[in-house]
């Protein structure tokens, strides 16, 4: 059974994130969406409980997806899950440079863990959680970028 771990803050989970998980669900037996349990101090940040609930709601239609939180080193978490693959999304060249550094560090920490990259659909490649939060902080409409339950949660949290 091939299990992949897709880590991130998912603050908030966007249509780009869900697109990547849907693509991965066709490639892997099990996808663990690993929500980082970090104390986020940015505008419109959602608490960990909300990020977990929203990810479960948005991805609930996928039978082979599990949403969990973690607060330790990613390579340790991947091992604890019985996985040996990390899934990462790539939107831009800037993403690649950053992700390439992470791959190198993770290979030193846990050489048995591989990283796989997927790109979101072209019409979703410009979406980032940071930009969604920024638009929301100015009262902008984020409904094209996130699931309706996410837009509602951000409006209520804001």
Residue with tokens 């607060």: 71
Give the pLDDT of residue 93. Answer: 77
Distance CA 9, CA 2 (A): 23
Which runs of consecutive H residues, i.e. helices, occur in the chain? 15-25, 48-59, 74-80, 93-109, 129-137, 148-157
Distance CA 2, CA 56 (A): 21
Which domains can be identified in the chain, with CATH numbers? Answer: 3-157 (3.40.50.620)
Q: Beginning with the edge strand found earlier in the chain, give each strand of the sheet holding 65-70 in spatial order.
A: 65-70, 30-36, 3-8, 85-89, 114-118
Give the pLDDT of residue 135. Answer: 94
Give the pLDDT of residue 116. Answer: 96
Active site residues: 17, 41, 91, 129
Give the pLDDT of residue 38. Answer: 79
Distance CA 103, CA 79 (A): 16
Give the pLDDT of residue 43. Answer: 59
Mean pLDDT by 10 residues, the chain (158 residues): 95 96 97 89 80 97 98 96 96 84 95 95 91 93 96 86
Give the pLDDT of residue 36. Answer: 94
């Amino acid at each position: 059974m091939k299990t992949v771990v897709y880590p991130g803050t998912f603050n908030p989970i966007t249509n780009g994130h869900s697109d990547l998980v849907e693509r991965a669900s066709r490639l892997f037996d099990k996808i663990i969406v690993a929500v980082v349990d970090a104390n986020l101090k940015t505008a419109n940040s959602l608490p960990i409980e909300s990020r977990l609930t929203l990810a479960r709601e948005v991805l609930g239609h996928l039978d082979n997806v599990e949403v969990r939180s973690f607060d330790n080193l990613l390579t340790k978490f991947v091992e604890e899950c019985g996985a040996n693959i990390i899934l990462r999304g790539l939107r831009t060249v800037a993403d690649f440079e950053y992700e390439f550094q992470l791959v190198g560090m993770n290979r030193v920490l846990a050489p048995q863990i591989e990283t796989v990259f997927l790109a979101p659909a072209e019409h979703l490649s410009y979406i980032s959680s940071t930009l969604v939060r920024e638009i929301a902080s100015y009262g902008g409409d984020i409904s094209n970028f996130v699931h309706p339950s996410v837009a509602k949660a951000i409006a209520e949290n804001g």
